[in-house]
């Protein structure tokens, strides 16, 4: 479906959070240890839950989207769902946050299953548009709905900082608002980088003249603490423990009660 990890799409792997590849015949699933809830990476062959089940491929389909490929896990009703779908649909939960399974769907409102994916419709897949459950654009007031995996393939998913240090908000935007978010953050980052450059220059020359000192002071006052990229206010968001903090939780005796 996507390059790299089937959950976060990152192609990089780390010693403390390696990228693990399924050894199932014809399976192209690759996941980070923390993204898929692998408690311990085996030294020998590793199989994703779909391959491990040996269930007929025709019977394995995600209950939240029309796509069959990708990293799936069992749901609480015996079906299947993508881990990435579980992360981005707000009401979905993990019964065990460490192993990230089973995926609990009982709290997903019926309204989500009645929405149609505008990305499917745009690409001529009208018959698939009403399959599964859709998330809604995280821009407040926007009603565009889409499947998580459709948004993933279109590059419309992102992670934003949550309320706590070890939490992230899993957000997705329609094409229009995603581009606006990118432009907004690019402008904010450019201004921030320019500010850092100016600050460095002023620091070097701060003793050369009163003018430089005054200018440096204006820079410090003008920042007012707003040094990071601007974020949109999310209408619906899904706060989960971030993949790396999940990994750290696996390694530590203390466990958290998280979604």
Are 123 and 246 found together in one domain?
yes
pLDDT at 191: 61
Q: Is the pTM of this model over 0.85?
A: no
Q: Which residues of the chain have pLDDT under 70?
A: 1-2, 165-166, 186, 188-259
What pLDDT score was predicted for residue 188?
66
pLDDT at residue number 246: 46
Tell me the C-alpha distance between 198 and 196, whole Å. Answer: 5
Number of domains within the chain: 2
- Identify the pLDDT of residue 41: 92
Instruction: Note whether 94 and 191 are same-domain residues.
Output: no
Cα–Cα separations (whole angstroms), residue 12 to 8, 27, 31, 115: 10, 19, 10, 34
Same domain, 84 and 142: yes
pLDDT tens across 129-140, in order?
999 999 999 999
| Rounded Cα–Cα distance for residues 106 and 133 (Å) | 13
The answer to whether residues 137 and 220 belong to one domain is no
Asked if residue 128 and residue 166 are part of one domain, the reply reads yes
* Domain span holding position 85: 59-173+234-251
Residues 87 and 187 in one domain: no
Are 93 and 112 in a shared domain?
yes
Residue 27 lies in a domain: no
184 and 152 in a common domain: no
| Residue 31 within a domain | no
Whether the Cβ atoms of residue 92 and residue 85 lie closer than 8 Å to each other: yes
């Amino acid at each position: 479906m996507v390059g790299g990890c089937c959950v976060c799409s990152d192609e990089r792997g780390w010693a403390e959070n390696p990228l693990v590849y399924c050894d199932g015949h014809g399976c192209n699933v690759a996941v980070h240890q923390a993204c898929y809830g692998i408690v311990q990476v085996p030294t020998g062959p590793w199989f994703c839950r779909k391959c491990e089940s040996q269930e007929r491929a025709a019977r394995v389909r995600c209950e939240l989207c029309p796509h069959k490929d990708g990293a799936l896990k069992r749901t609480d009703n015996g079906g299947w769902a993508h881990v990435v779908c579980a992360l981005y649909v707000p009401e979905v939960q993990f019964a065990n946050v460490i192993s990230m399974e089973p995926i609990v769907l009982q709290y997903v409102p019926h309204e989500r299953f009645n929405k149609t994916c505008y990305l499917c419709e745009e690409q001529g897949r009208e018959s698939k548009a009403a399959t599964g459950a859709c998330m809604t654009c995280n821009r407040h007031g926007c009603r565009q709905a889409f499947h998580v995996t459709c948004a993933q393939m279109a590059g419309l998913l992102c992670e934003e900082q949550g309320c706590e240090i070890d939490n992230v908000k899993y957000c997705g935007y329609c094409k229009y608002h995603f581009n606006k978010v990118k432009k907004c953050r690019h402008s904010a980052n450019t201004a921030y980088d320019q500010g850092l450059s100016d600050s460095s220059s002023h620091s070097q020359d701060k003793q050369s003249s009163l003018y430089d000192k005054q200018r440096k002071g204006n820079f410090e006052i003008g920042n007012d603490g707003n040094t990071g990229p601007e974020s949109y206010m999310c209408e619906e968001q899904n706060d989960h423990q971030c993949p790396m903090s999940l990994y750290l939780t696996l390694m530590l005796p203390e466990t958290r009660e998280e979604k």
